[in-house]
A and B are shown apart, each in its own frame.
Chain A
Amino acid sequence: MPVNYEQLRTQLKNAGQTLRLRHDAFNRAANQYETELRAEAENADLRERINAALAEKPETRCALPREEAIDTSHPLPPLPPVQIRLLACDGSQISPSRHDEISFGLINTAVVELIIHSGQTPRIITRTKLLPFDDLPSENLLGVQRDAAEKRFLAEIAAQTAHDITTFALTDGPLELFTDTPEMQGQDLLKAEYLEALMELAAHKIPAAGYIDRPRSDPVLRMLDLLRTGSAKEDKNPGADDSMLFSRLLAPGERSAVFGMNSRLNRDLGKDLRLCFFYMNIGRPGHPYISRVELPAWAAEESFIPDLLHAVLMEQCRVLGGHPYPFILHRAHESAVVTFAEKEEIKTRLLREMTTNGLTPPEKSNKQIAKDLIGDR
């Protein structure tokens, strides 16, 4: 028995008490932030004060108020009875492992096209790319490469579709490409391709939207900290996040005001592509569930787009009943995911190709062979 449950017993009891204290602190903080948000919504000099604070620390990551009041809650608009095209992309990867018979990497991306009110069967397009063996990326870099591949594929498919109906290009997760990691140094081509994909979607007037399920970031809280103290906290507010705040502000089905985002990465994107976001409560009465939706500034400025996106995403979430999540994003995930059996099949074919070319197929590492003996126990 590898886990020492006797040692763990006391720790679990203490953890329960700690979580209780954390929850209470969480609620007190939420009350305070809610009061502050409502008070700041009334202040005419809100934007000037934020700008003044940001002048000193321009790279502070926090939310930015836009035209509407920051405590605005928008009721769920009806979904118009017209055709709306949804394109959703997701990707999955095989990360190279030196313990496999052969270390190889692969990115699999899938786009699902669903036209609301069409009665048509959704279309699924997949793309599979084996990575070059002489330049296998690290796990983190491969994740970023996959993100970029998703956006490129989405933009490519979006460009090919007819532009006669309103179209949204959806992905799971933030739209922002996190490029501050050490692995991303020198990956300018990747960044450029990513940016190009966002620009291509914008050129076709197709709003890209990133859907974040159960977000744990706190840009609005950081904005309120900035207004209260003149500087945002360096670290994430412990135990508190924007979901906590907006689960109090938004009734089921409602969305928040659209916020801008201040960050170095976002400033690099240029005015039209800078990311904005809003929160939605996709839960039910007494059980709020907050998700965040990111979209580029040009789309946020078109008055109908946030409302239509709100209606579309709520409709998509409704399909999954008691555990709401956009149906099309789940289908994109299902279509893109590389299963263990598929990975094994690809590896077998690769080893066969090695044999065909006169090479002796290598074995797994001794460590992996030993692990496999234990199996899934």
Chain B
Amino acid sequence: METKHSCIGRMLSANSRECVVSALTPQNEIPAFGSMLRIPMGNGQPEIYGVVTDITLEEDGFLRQIASSSGISEEVIRDAQENRNVPIVIRVAFIGYMEGDRVLHLLPPRPPVTLTEIYPCTVREICEFTRKFGYLRLLVNVTQQPAGELLAVHLRETAKAHVQLGENDWAERAVAEVMDLYTDNPSALIAVLGAIGDADIFVNEE
């Protein structure tokens, strides 16, 4: 049985479309750009799913002071990277929610409350949620990042999860869906397909 991941942070603020999360984990364990997270609301409320759309390392005056010094030792660098609680803020766009076993590719009825815990999705959770492509409609409308970059990394990582479960044609079907979404906007489609091409999303089971 696949192991559930541990909590990576808590929610700081939210609206109907997205939330901002403060990461608790060391820098090298923070979820990747484009990866999927889930936000269990508890009390019989739906479990919200989202995609990481931005990661910010917040300003820290002390680090700025260290960075401006020359010849910093390995010990100091490792301390800063592994020990210090540098605020890492993650922006997560909502792509739908689960009500029981039912997947809904719609914005959640209400945002999660402050300090709700956030978890990375397991391979099975990713595959269950993305078996249909309605959620891509929400993802292409994310405005903070170039849509092509976000879609490309998201599709590449999600395709890997589907390949693990033997769903080898998922990437091809996902790209077809993206092309449909951009039917009326050929210039944007060219940019998105360029990014998808660079991401080399058509992985094969090895």
Binding site for B on A (CB under 8 A): 114-122, 124, 318-323, 327, 330-331, 334
Q: Which residues of A contact B79 (CB under 8 A)?
A: 114, 121-122, 331
Contact assessment for B68 and A322 in the assembled complex, using a CB-CB cutoff below 8 Å: yes
What 12 new A-B contacts, CB under 8 Å, besides A115-B75, A320-B65, A334-B62?
A116-B75, A121-B78, A121-B79, A122-B83, A318-B71, A319-B73, A319-B76, A320-B66, A320-B69, A321-B65, A322-B65, A331-B84
Contact assessment for A319 and B72 in the assembled complex, using a CB-CB cutoff below 8 Å: yes
CB distance from B159 to the nearest CB of A (A): 35
CB distance from A85 to the nearest CB of B (A): 11
A115 to B78, CA, bound (A): 12
Binding site for A on B (CB under 8 A): 62, 65-66, 68-69, 71-76, 78-79, 82-84
Q: Which residues of A contact B72 (CB under 8 A)?
A: 319
Contact assessment for A121 and B75 in the assembled complex, using a CB-CB cutoff below 8 Å: yes
Which 4 A-B pairs have CB atoms at the shortest separation, nearest pair first? Answer: A321-B69, A121-B78, A119-B74, A122-B79
CB distance from B86 to the nearest CB of A (A): 11
Known pairs A319-B69, A320-B69, A321-B66; A327 contacts B83 (CB<8 A): no
Contact assessment for A120 and B65 in the assembled complex, using a CB-CB cutoff below 8 Å: no
Contact assessment for B66 and A119 in the assembled complex, using a CB-CB cutoff below 8 Å: no
Contact assessment for A116 and B65 in the assembled complex, using a CB-CB cutoff below 8 Å: no
Q: Which of A120, A124, A318 contacts B78 (CB 8 A)?
A: A120
Instruction: Return the chain A residue nearest B79 by Cβ.
Output: A122
Classify the interface of chain B: helix, strand, loop or mixed.
helix
Task: Please report the number of residue pairs spanning A and B whose Cβ atoms sit closer than 8 angstroms.
Answer: 47
Contact assessment for B69 and A318 in the assembled complex, using a CB-CB cutoff below 8 Å: yes
List, sorted by A's number, 16 A–B pairs whose CB atoms are closer than 8 Å: A116-B73, A118-B75, A119-B74, A119-B78, A120-B75, A120-B78, A122-B75, A318-B71, A320-B65, A320-B66, A320-B69, A321-B65, A321-B68, A322-B68, A330-B62, A331-B84
Instruction: Return the chain A residue nearest B73 by Cβ.
Output: A116
Q: Which residues of A contact B65 (CB under 8 A)?
A: 320-323
Contact assessment for B69 and A122 in the assembled complex, using a CB-CB cutoff below 8 Å: no
Q: Which residues of A contact B66 (CB under 8 A)?
A: 319-321, 327
A120 to B78, CA, bound (A): 7
Q: Which residues of A contact B84 (CB under 8 A)?
A: 331, 334
CB distance from A93 to the nearest CB of B (A): 20
Q: Which residues of A contact B76 (CB under 8 A)?
A: 319, 327
Contact assessment for A122 and B68 in the assembled complex, using a CB-CB cutoff below 8 Å: no
A114 to B73, CA, bound (A): 11
A119 to B68, CA, bound (A): 20
A114 to B76, CA, bound (A): 9
Contact assessment for B75 and A119 in the assembled complex, using a CB-CB cutoff below 8 Å: yes
A331 to B77, CA, bound (A): 13
Instruction: Return the chain B residue nearest A330 by Cβ.
Output: B62
Q: Which residues of A contact B69 (CB under 8 A)?
A: 318-321
CB distance from A83 to the nearest CB of B (A): 10
